Amino acid sequence: MTDTSSLTFKVASEEWEFEQIHELNYQTFVDEIPQHQGNGQGRLVDKFHQENTYVICLCGERVLGMIALRDKRPLSLDAKLDDLDSYLPPFRTILEYRLLAIRKEYRNSAIFAGIMKKAFYMALQGGYDIAVISGTTRQERLYRHLGFRPFGPLVGSGDAKYQPMYIDLASALKLRQKSQVLHSDKGRAAEQVLFNYLPGPVTIADAVMEASSGVPASHRNVSFVKRFYAFRKMLSSKLHADQVQIMAGSGTLGNDVVAAHLALLPGKGLVLVNGEFGERLRDHAIRAGLDFTVAETELGATFSEEALRKVIRDIPKLAWIWGVHCETSTGVLNDLDMLRRLCQENNLKLCLDGISSIGSCPVDLDDIYLATATSGKGIGSLPGLAIVFYRDDVVSGDQRLPRYFDLGYYESKQGIPFTISSNAVEALMTAVEEGDWLTRFENVRQWSKELRDELEVLGFPVLADKQCRAPHITTIALPPSLSSVALGDQLAAEGILVSYRSEYLLAKNYFQVCFMGTCQRPTGMMSYFLRKAMEDADSIPSKNQGD
């Protein structure tokens, strides 16, 4: 028996791990189960080895157990059963579990449970609808206990007989509450996060986390300064902006920087408000003492070009417009091209809060006077860095500006006038340089369409009007019979994080699904629990009490 505290369950990545996998493969499927002929080498390399992902159990540097995951068709079962799909329920994506093996002396529930739990979570995180396995007939009862269902005839021959089995996502989720294998024994707090659909903190790619964990470098280090300068040039070019500065702080700091620079301009301004974050821009403008008026529209809607033209005509000495690109609170994406066109026609400076859009959907900052972003949302890095893009003609270097807000001062100091964390910067650079934004944008667009189609079938209204919905944020207005807190807590207990605890969401009984950072397709989990919530509506409190 092995102390479970000494066990590690992980994805195999090291050469010595793979070597032991080949040895365990031979011991199990040649020596013990006569599935393959012996080769005298004591090691068996699986024919799909290059396509396999191996989940392994380690004790120190010894591999005690393994299972292989593979999703490339034809699957191993495709070769054993004609028309495999005809035996299965409808699905979009399929994963196969293979080569489950545990060393004889360690065949205890802790190792088996840990391997299967890790494989289960990986299937969910990978967005698979269904998983199949060839379960040894000796352990069919155990596979059933996990939620696998047998189908088709036995495969294999002689003493190596297997029962094809499958597990669908909904069954796995329901069984997780009952199964001692898949359910955490440490309570809700120990449940793993399967899907993170928060607007922040977002799920962060392994490469970004690794970049953040290096030895801290001095912000005066010559090589760091050079790399930082090159990165700023690349980032500004990527968004079609003239310049960009990066500073320690949040997106709120970035918007304070914008307000401080607008205070230097003559003339009046116009702040656009169609949700909570537009209201926050209004607050920034008030605190900065700006001379401005406000244009508002209802929640879930965007601004009419005709109405804005009229507002612009009616404001004497109007000099600038400041608005939110993606109104996070409602899931509305305001029309940037329309705003840019109006500003160009009327010789106005356009300022943009792009905190929730940059990195999550296509954004073109050409001719934008000032714009803000942050490291910890769509870009998919650690929070803590404010990003301010600006045109070359932005007024700066004025002593009326606080030193920390002065973009000209940053530029005069090669972008690093004050201490900044090299770890946070390295993470940000890795997130931008290695992130495939075009693929991400297309995935998010498709996932949102699938989600909204499911919501429509279930009768859950999406707040934003169809013509102005952000591709990466879906805000759902719940009926009075459902509590956003009860539903959000229920989803969190299942490892699905959605946004519902912010004051503005609580007040309206809204919850949100946000595709930001390194996110996953939501498979059928979301609709499963929403449907269940509708069925259980009578037992769920109808008000968000006590929050």
Transcribe 104-166 into DSSP letters. Answer: GGG-SHHHHHHHHHHHHHHHHHTT-SEEEEEEEGGGHHHHHHHT-EE-SS-EEETTEEEEEEE
Question: Nearest Cα to 121, choosing from 229, 195, 68, 228?
Answer: 195
Q: Is the pTM of this model over 0.85?
A: no
Q: Give the list of residues 6+ apart from residue 435 with CB closer than 8 angstroms, or none.
A: 205, 359, 379, 380
Residues 194-243 pLDDT 10s: 688 999 889 898 899 999 998 998 988 999 999 999 999 999 999 999 99
Q: Return the amino acid letter for 215.
A: V
Question: Nearest Cα to 272, choosing from 185, 335, 213, 217?
Answer: 335
Mean pLDDT for 376-403 is 93
What is the CATH code of the structural domain delimited by 437-539?
A: 3.90.1150.10
Residues 104-147 pLDDT 10s: 888 766 788 888 888 887 887 777 889 999 988 777 777 887 77
Average pLDDT, the chain: 87
pLDDT tier for residue 187 given thresholds of 50, 70 and 90: very low
Does 206-434 match 4-191 at the fold level? no
What CATH superfamily classification does 4-191 receive?
Gcn5-related N-acetyltransferase (GNAT) (3.40.630.30)
What is the CATH code of the structural domain delimited by 206-434?
A: 3.40.640.10
Q: What percent of the chain has pLDDT over 70?
A: 89
| SS3 category, 383 | coil
Q: What is the C-alpha separation between 48 and 97, in angstroms, rounded?
A: 12
- Hey, what are 90's tokens? 């409808």
Transcribe 26-60 into DSSP letters. Answer: HIIIIIISTTS---SSS----TTGGG-EEEEEEET
Transcribe 413-454 into DSSP letters. Answer: TTT-SS---HHHHHHHHHHHHH--HHHHHHHHHHHHHHHHHH
Q: What is the C-alpha separation between 276 and 504, in angstroms, rounded?
A: 7
What pLDDT, on the 0 to 100 scale, is given for residue 284? Answer: 98
pLDDT at 188 over 50: no
pLDDT tier for residue 5 given thresholds of 50, 70 and 90: low
Residues 143-185 pLDDT 10s: 887 778 899 999 877 767 889 999 986 556 555 544 444 554 4
Mean pLDDT for 346-359 is 97
Of the CA atoms within 13 Å of residue 455, those in its CB half-sphere come to: 21
171-185, 282-296, 336-350: the lowest-pLDDT one: 171-185
- Hey, what are 376's tokens? 């910890």
Q: What is the C-alpha separation between 251 and 516, in angstroms, rounded?
A: 16
First-last CA distance in the chain: 47
Host H or E run for residue 339: helix 336-345
- Hey, what are 432's tokens? 């931008």
| In the chain, where the domains are located | 4-191, 206-434, 437-539
pLDDT at 545 over 60: no
Question: Between 35 and 151, where is the model more confident?
Answer: 151
